[in-house]
């Protein structure tokens, strides 16, 4: 079982969408998925627009935000951040996690590594664009994970 942790800032927009979308894409496969935020307030629901975008995709996700902590880091096999600054924050506070922390797009092998834009406070269309970017990254991630498993 591969345990993947998606990380963003407040754990109410990008990482919950990535968690829910990845879980939907990998149903029945050997993955456990969670999400957290580097500056999250525990117990917050996903933003209304994030919930709407997931619902438009037929994905139900009863989310409560989590603050990134040592327990979640120890639980995970792979930590995928939405931005380079999230990755740097994790490495600053948890340098022992260096071998398993990557940005989502970096690990997925997307050229011209860039951040997943934060839709927080934006319009529903901003969340839709964000979800499209996450979905493209998750599709590439699944290809990468299949390659890694094949070589193991």
Active site residue 118: yes
8/14 Cα distance (integer angstroms): 6
Structure-derived torsion over alpha carbons of residues 76, 97, 11, 54, reported in degrees to the nearest 10: -50
Active site residue 3: no
Q: Which of 57, 88, 115, 118 is catalytic?
A: 118
34/23 Cα distance (integer angstroms): 9
Q: What is the pLDDT of residues 43-82, one digit of tens each?
A: 999 999 999 999 999 999 999 999 999 999 999 999 999 9
Candidates 121, 111, 109, 116; CA nearest to 35 is: 116
Q: What angle do CA 106, 88, 136 make, to 5 degrees?
A: 25
Give the pLDDT band (50/70/90) at residue 114.
Answer: confident
Element holding 101 (H helix, E strand): strand 101-103
Active site residue 130: no
Residues 6+ apart with CB under 8 A from 108: 137, 138, 140, 141, 143, 144
Q: What is the pLDDT of residues 3-34, one digit of tens each?
A: 999 999 999 999 999 999 999 999 999 999 99
pLDDT of residue 149: 67
Span 126-131, mean pLDDT?
A: 98
3 state DSSP class of 34: strand
Q: Which of 8, 13, 23, 130 is catalytic?
A: 8
Which two three-digit tokens encode residue 66? 């989590």
Q: What is the pLDDT of residues 132-148, one digit of tens each?
A: 999 999 999 999 998 87
Q: Which domains, from first to last, does the chain contain?
A: 2-151 (3.40.50.2300)
Average pLDDT, the chain: 95
């Amino acid at each position: 079982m591969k345990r993947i942790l998606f990380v963003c800032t407040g754990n109410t927009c990008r990482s919950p969408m990535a968690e829910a979308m990845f879980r939907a894409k990998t149903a029945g496969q050997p993955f456990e998925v969670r999400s957290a935020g580097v500056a999250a307030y525990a117990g917050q629901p996903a933003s209304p627009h994030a919930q709407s975008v997931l619902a438009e995709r037929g994905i139900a996700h009863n989310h409560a935000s989590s603050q990134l902590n040592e327990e979640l880091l120890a639980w995970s096999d792979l930590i995928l951040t939405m931005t380079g600054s999230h990755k740097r924050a994790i490495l600053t506070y948890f340098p022992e996690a260096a071998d398993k922390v990557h940005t989502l797009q970096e690990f997925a092998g997307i050229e011209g590594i860039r951040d997943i834009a934060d839709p927080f406070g934006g319009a529903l269309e901003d969340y839709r664009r964000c979800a499209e970017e996450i979905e493209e990254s998750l599709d590439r991630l699944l290809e990468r994970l299949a390659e890694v498993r094949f070589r193991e």
